[in-house]
Chains A and B, each alone.
Chain A
Amino acid sequence: MRTITLQDYKRRLLRVLVHIQQHLDDALGLHELAGLACFSPYHFHRIFKGMVGESVKEHIRRLRLERAASRLKLSTAPVTDIAFDAGYGSHEAFTRSFRAVFGASPTQFRSSTKSRITTTARSGLHYRAGKPVSDFKATQPGGKSMKVKIESKEPLRVAFMRHVGPYDEVGATWDKLLPRLGKEGLLGGDVLILGICHDDPEVTPPEKIRYDACVTVDESFVPEGEIGVQVIPGGEYAVTTHFGPYQKLGDTYTRLLGQWLPRSGRELRSTPCFEVYFNDPQSTEPEDLLTDIYAPLQTKPRT
């Protein structure tokens, strides 16, 4: 087995990109797209966004608008039909989105002679009728290089409470979990406070996001009521530190999975990432918060 390269990652994403272009009008499911690229559904969206520079949803929306622009120029179809084909329910919504991207209303755009049909995209990916996409520019890691270390972890036994709902409301779940464990003395000693995000807030509707608030416990702890026990699998993890507010964790996930990973020679396991919190957000300014992000790696192939 050889080491996976950036080219391999690109090749796998290209399968998805071609599929998207050929099925611009279909509802494209997460598992279907992830499966095409042989990526775990846990990680696919972050890899996609990190490499392509926009989320799957943003990518599809942009290509549909480009297709609409080309139809405005090359056909005589009524604007309402074109809007509908681009996935918009109303003329107004279409006009708003179209203007935001092309700087003109669909009607102005159609009558103008110098309007550009394509949008700007660093990936170089655009809508081309009947021409399957064959290459794209993977986002270069910009700014300060990301510090990532590979850590081998023992399995972690955790007490947890599941939160289902918007990511920025997980505090309420912590407010229930920590007092219950705390009064039992379970926050003493070297415990880790960590979170497992099963869904990507970028793609899962807020009310459906599953997040587990976890505290490490020993064998003596038994699940009780809303508090369950699970074991986070051991093995190798890529670890990086996120500096600053929790609201910006998504950016660091995207850089780790979409920019560092494809150049690392490694692949992810099909288990969720988790994050370890180092501060008490009640007494720490958001910009001083430190969070370690753990991404599960497959065993390195022997070379």
Chain B
Amino acid sequence: MKSQPKLDLYKLHKAEYVATRKPVLVELKPASYLAVSGQGAPGGDLFTASIGALYGMAFTIKMTRKFAGLQDYAVCKLEGLWWSESAANFAKLPKDQWLWKLLIRTPDFIKDDDLRQSVAVLLKRGKGEDVKRVRLESLAEGRCVQMLHVGPYEKEGETVAVMKAFAEKQQLGFAGKHHEIYLSDPCRVPPERLKTIVRQPVRPS
């Protein structure tokens, strides 16, 4: 299973994926993602089906290009945006009210046509209807506070508090959706060793 990485967006945009135990400011340029949205608890049926659909699309698009001899690239890690309609802090609400958008960063040369083609073959293979919910989206987060969280997702509040204090010290306030980049697979890595980059867009307060 050894393979040379062709294009790795995380390595190419290294400054955007700083993962330190102390909060830092980072500047995010607009970036392209495969995205799928939903509502409900992480680990619920819709959530799980959405992750499957997102990965199915990501690898089908990548491999279709690779087969055609077009530029190869590494499929990036899973990321997620989390928010709620009613509260500033979604984490305080019951989980069935959580809104989320799952993301996989994708090279700019991936277009809607690539998605349409892959949806068609996955549907033909009977791999589930959820692939139809996967979209191509651009995200421009601009200035963000970012920090590495190590441990269970339930304890992320502590990391967010540190980030908030760091932002306030510089007259910055949280603005925009809570963003997580999952460096570890929660099915395989014990909760205390899970690594997650937490990113939070900010603007002058």
Contact = CB atoms under 8 A, between A and B. Distances in A.
Interface string B47-58: 000001101110
Given A282-B3, A282-B75, A183 B56 contact: no
Interface string B117-129: 0100111110110
A171 B2 contact: yes
Nearest to A176: B67
Question: For the side of the interface on A, what is the size category?
Answer: 20 to 34
Name A's interface SS.
Answer: mixed
Contacts of A174: 1, 3
A180 B67 CA distance: 6
Nearest to B124: A185
Question: For the side of the interface on B, what is the size category?
Answer: 35 or more
Interface in B112-149: 118, 121-125, 127-128, 131
Interface string A1-34: 0000000000000000000000000000000000
Given A170-B1, A187-B59, A280-B75, A182 B8 contact: no
A290 B124 contact: no
A182 B59 contact: yes
Contact of B5 (A181, A193, A282): A282
B2 A188 contact: no
Interface string B159-176: 000000000000000000
Interface string B40-72: 000000000000110111011011101110000
A185 B121 contact: yes
Interface in B19-56: 52-53, 55-56
A168 interface: yes
Interface string A259-285: 000000000000000000111111100
Interface centre among B1, B6, B55, B123 (most CB of A within 10 A): B1
Interface string B70-85: 0000111100000000
Contacts of A169: 2
A180 B62 CA distance: 11
B8 A187 contact: no
B3 A189 contact: no
Contacts of B60: 182-183, 185, 187-188
B191 to A, nearest CB: 16
Contacts of B188: 241, 278, 290
Interface centre among A185, A246, A288 (most CB of B within 10 A): A185
Nearest to A187: B59
A224 interface: no
Contacts of B76: 283
Interface in A172-203: 174-175, 178-190, 193, 195
B5 A184 contact: no
B36 to A, nearest CB: 13
Contacts of B128: 188-189
Nearest to B53: A188
A195 B122 contact: no
Given A185-B121, A188-B127, A283 B5 contact: yes
Nearest to A285: B183
A246 B1 contact: yes
Contact of B56 (A188, A241, A278): A188
B62 A182 contact: yes
Given A187-B60, A190-B52, 8 more contacts: A175-B3, A179-B63, A180-B67, A183-B121, A184-B121, A185-B122, A185-B123, A188-B125
Interface of A: 168-171, 174-175, 178-190, 193, 195, 220, 241, 246, 277-283, 288, 290
18 contacts: A170-B2, A171-B3, A171-B4, A175-B66, A178-B63, A179-B66, A182-B60, A182-B66, A182-B67, A183-B60, A188-B60, A188-B128, A188-B131, A193-B1, A280-B74, A281-B3, A282-B3, A282-B6
